[in-house]
Amino acid sequence: MRRDDLERHLRRGGCSFVRHGAGHDIWRNAAGTKQASVPRHRTIADGTVRAICRQLGVPPP
């Protein structure tokens, strides 16, 4: 999945961007209780996308 598609999916799920890391971005869910690292690659593997969504409590795309 392309990174910009994943970011769009996370925003629609109520998540928000927190900060930049070295090679990744930190995102937080709507309640602010969970956070996940999103790699800053052009494409992200499907298993990684599912894990990020699971960590943030968002349904997978």
CATH (residue range 3-56):
3.30.920.30
Q: Measuring CA to CA, how many Å separate 42 from each of 3, 23, 24, 31, 46? A: 6, 12, 12, 28, 13
In this predicted model, what pLDDT tens digit does every residue of 29-61 receive, in sequence order? 999 999 999 999 999 999 999 999 999 999 999
User: What pTM does this model have?
Assistant: 0.92
In this predicted model, what pLDDT tens digit does every residue of 16-34 receive, in sequence order? 999 999 999 999 999 999 9
Query: Can you tell me the distance from the alpha carbon of 6 to that of 17, in angstroms, rounded to the nearest whole number?
Result: 12
Query: Can you tell me the distance from the alpha carbon of 56 to that of 41, in angstroms, rounded to the nearest whole number?
Result: 19
pLDDT score for 39: 97
Q: 16-20 and 35-39: which strand pairing?
A: unpaired
